[in-house]
Amino acid sequence: MYSHRSYRIKHTDQSILDWLCVFWLALLLNGCTTSIDDYEHAEPKFELFKFFEGSTQAWGMVQDYKGQQVRRFDVKLNGVITGNQLVLTEDFVFDDNETQQRIWTITKQANGRYLGAADDVVGEAVGYEKGNALYWQYVLAMEINGSTYHINFEDWMFYQNNNQLFNLAKMKKWGITVGTVTLFFQK
């Protein structure tokens, strides 16, 4: 004889179910990520050194994890190429009049690969260029309210034409997106 029993989920069972749902969702979303290889045949071809040689102007914004704009900025860039290295000086002016300077030393490797260093980059930045795109990863030491945090950056640059470039960067901590930076570059 069949007996109908109601089953009530205990608090610990619910926590385990919540954790499993998050785990499976993370696995599912990880399988949906874009690869630099997806842009291999995209035109026009992006050449990092060629685009950033000389003077470039950029405008951007920072958004928090909710998508709310929290900062705006202008950037003047100057790039100097010597052999297989690009020294790129970025001078930022934020909407609250704060100024910052970052000087990148970017070394071109084989097969569209780049390595980069700057004073506030922890370790080495690694980039891959294919088609009209560049994927750039690095950890940036950011000072926020008197404390320094190491934030992972996943940078995507998309070459539009000879004079324009789009950049979208996700800022992550512990694998969770905590903000986004959007930039538009003009030669």
pLDDT tens, residue by residue, 108-162: 998 889 999 999 999 999 999 999 999 999 999 988 888 899 999 999 999 998 8
What tokens were used for 65?
């994890």
Q: How many residues does the chain have?
A: 187
Residue 90 is predicted with a pLDDT of 97
pLDDT of 29 reads: 43
Classified as helix, coil or strand, 26 is helix
Residue ranges in the chain modelled with pLDDT below 70 = 1-33
Give the SS3 label for residue 162: coil
What local confidence, expressed as pLDDT, does residue 39 receive? 87
Q: Look at residues 61, 123, 52, 62 and name the one whose alpha carbon lies nearest to residue 88.
A: 52
Element (H, E) at 161: strand 147-161
Please give the C-alpha separations between residue 156 and each of 18, 54, 132, 137, in angstroms, as whole numbers.
32, 21, 10, 9
- List of domains in the chain: 46-186 (2.40.128.20)
User: Which amino acid appears at position 178 of this protein?
Assistant: V
Task: Report the distance separating Cα 53 and Cα 65, nearest Å.
Answer: 33
